Amino acid sequence: MPEPKQNYVNGEWVAAESGDTVDVTNPADTTEVVNTYHYGGESDANAAVEAASAAQGEWADMPAPDRGAILRETGAILEERKEELTELLTREEGKPLSSASGEVQRAIDIFYYYAEKAYDFGGTVKGASGGRTSVSTRKEPVGVAGLITPWNYPIAIPAWKMAPALATGNAVVLKPATQAPGPALELAKALDEAGAPDGIVNVVVGSGSSVGTTLTDSDDVDAVSFTGSTQVGLQVYDAATDDTKRAQAEMGGKNPTIVTDSADVDEAVDIVGVGAFGVTGQACTATSRAIVHTDVYDEFVAGITEYAESLDIGPGLDDPGMGPHVNEGEFESTLDYVDIAKTEGATHEFGGDRVDEGDLSDGYFVTPAVFSDVTPDMRIFQEEVFGPVLAVTEVEDFDEAIEVANNTEYGLSASVVTDDLAEAHEFVDRSESGVVKVNEKTTGLELHVPFGGYKQSSTNTFREQGDAAIDFFTQTKTVYMNH
């Protein structure tokens, strides 16, 4: 049996002080242990924070283009290893190879993007009110950033937190999710090989209650960035801000797609189908509600049911239409919500069945589920499922569609399918979501524009990605120079 993979602290690969380990199994075949990892605790996290704190000042003093060069080389290393990273991601997290490949490419692109943004790192010059005086601003790193990332995008989300933090002169301590930590450790390996100084990048696999809590509570951590569930995100945010740390949390979603009476129904079916069932619905931006005008409702329900029935299900390594759930907890949660929807009176059109025969008997497979006649008071309408379950609701007109779409505590992503330009603009104006799309699925994000939600989908402090990420990981100093 291979040796357990170690954590990365202060430029070295080290075992957990406790000696504890955790197995990561293939969600498509739970009899296969993909990797075993050292499972760190509070002492390991403290060592990582101490290393980051000691190294950060020298990293901040390095010219920004030199930091960018290290990020650029990191991107090149990841690009060389794209195929093996893709397979690792699929085997640990379960998503189909094509989706995993796209995610790895996104991580590559993020490092290339922030490598170039490092050249622009600086400030602005402002006009002064008096003569022989200049006024300017400069951006400086916050310090040490604690990063807590989820399992569903195990290389893209660590990349979009790490790259802007490093580009702007911060040191980082990353706690990846234990269900799929391998890709995050591979990021650390690539950064190490690219020349990142010791202590600037640290990755500790461990629990939220030990490693995560250390990051939120340590006096040497200056900023905390979290992505995950709303329940945990609010706890992380409250703990981090108790001692005035800078903090952000991007959390859950219950994302709607409105289908208007002017929509091309076949197009709407494709948009909703990909958004609802892609990556097994395990995305915070997944389409979980379709809100459909009564004139096209029956046609849409028939179409989306046929779409769900047509999806092939299988191991991610076979690149099927839909892969497994990541673990038993997520698997059982989806099955529970299917039962809840039936009990509450939604019409069960298709799916939501456990697949436990043949080659799929040892995996966490569920057929994609479609429920129609869903009303806003149902849990299947209001609560995040995080699985391939679509709730379809009928509305009489566009105003009702907007009202129904906004009728949730979440506000992450929303879309509309329409051929009416006025409706498109009205939707953009009135949707209570941080990301709005017209004639596009709710999933899928550009890396150079801000990302974040409204309401319980975000702490609404800072956005991620693009220039917004640079804002989070920096603080502004205003300089008055009399001469």
Is the Cβ–Cβ distance between 47 and 38 less than 8 Å?
no
Q: How far apart are CA 189 and CA 196, in angstroms?
A: 10
The residue ranges of DSSP E strands in 206-340, in sequence order, are: 223-227, 246-250, 255-259, 287-293
Straight-line distance from the first to the last Cα atom of the chain, in angstroms, rounded to the nearest whole number: 69
The reply to whether 325 and 223 lie within a common domain is no
The reply to whether 240 and 347 lie within a common domain is no
Q: What is the pTM of this model?
A: 0.96
The reply to whether 218 and 344 lie within a common domain is no
Q: How far apart are CA 339 and CA 348, in angstroms?
A: 10
Residue 239 within any structural domain of the chain: yes
User: Alpha-carbon Rg of the chain, whole angstroms?
Assistant: 23
The reply to whether 126 and 239 lie within a common domain is yes
Q: Quick check: 51 pLDDT over 90? A: yes
Secondary structure (3-state) at 403: helix
The reply to whether 169 and 113 lie within a common domain is yes
The reply to whether 225 and 336 lie within a common domain is no
Residue 449 within any structural domain of the chain: no
Residue 348 within any structural domain of the chain: yes
Mean pLDDT to the nearest integer, 430-451: 97
Tokens of 477: 């100093």
Residue 211 within any structural domain of the chain: yes
What pLDDT score was predicted for residue 1?
Answer: 59
Domain count, the chain: 2
Q: How far apart are CA 307 and CA 68, in angstroms?
A: 45
The reply to whether 276 and 140 lie within a common domain is no
Residue 446 within any structural domain of the chain: no
Full strand arrangement of the beta sheet holding 201-203: 12-14, 7-9, 201-203, 171-175, 144-148, 223-227, 246-250
Average pLDDT, the chain: 97
User: Quick check: is 250 catalytic?
Assistant: yes
Q: How far is CA 405 from CA 39, 288, 409, 433, in A?
A: 42, 11, 11, 10
The residue ranges of DSSP E strands in 338-473, in sequence order, are: 347-350, 354-355, 365-366, 369-372, 389-395, 410-411, 413-417, 435-438, 454-455
Mean pLDDT to the nearest integer, 53-61: 97
The reply to whether 70 and 197 lie within a common domain is yes
Q: How far apart are CA 337 and CA 329, in angstroms?
A: 12
Residue 212 within any structural domain of the chain: yes
DSSP codes of every residue in 32-97: EEEEEEE-B-HHHHHHHHHHHHHHHHHHHHS-HHHHHHHHHHHHHHHHHTHHHHHHHHHHHH---H
Instruction: Please list, residue by residue across 156-189, b when 16 or more beta carbons sit within 10 angstroms of its beta carbon and e when fewer do.
Output: bbbbbbbbbbbbbbbbbbbbbbbbbbbbbbbbbb
Q: Quick check: 129 pLDDT over 90? A: no
Compute the residue count for the chain: 483
Q: Which of 9-13, 117-121, 373-377, 452-456 has the lowest mean pLDDT?
A: 117-121
CA atoms within 13 A on the CB side of 21: 13
Tokens of 385: 């499922």
The reply to whether 409 and 377 lie within a common domain is yes
Mean pLDDT to the nearest integer, 319-333: 98
Give the tens place of pLDDT for each residue, 242-292.
Answer: 988 999 999 999 999 999 999 999 999 999 999 999 999 999 999 999 999
The reply to whether 140 and 269 lie within a common domain is no
The reply to whether 260 and 235 lie within a common domain is no
Q: 467: domain range?
A: 7-251+459-482
What pLDDT score was predicted for residue 68?
Answer: 97
Residue 448 within any structural domain of the chain: no
Q: Quick check: 411 pLDDT over 90? A: yes
Mean pLDDT to the nearest integer, 95-109: 98
How many Å separate Cα 359 from the centre of its chain? 30
Q: State the CATH number of the domain containing residue 319.
A: 3.40.309.10
What pLDDT score was predicted for residue 216?
Answer: 97
Residue 269 within any structural domain of the chain: yes
The residue annotated as part of the active site, out of 186, 250, 349, 423, is 250
Q: State the CATH number of the domain containing residue 100.
A: 3.40.605.10
The reply to whether 336 and 231 lie within a common domain is no
Mean pLDDT to the nearest integer, 281-304: 98
DSSP codes of every residue in 10-38: TTEEE--TT--EEEEEETTEEEEEEEEEE
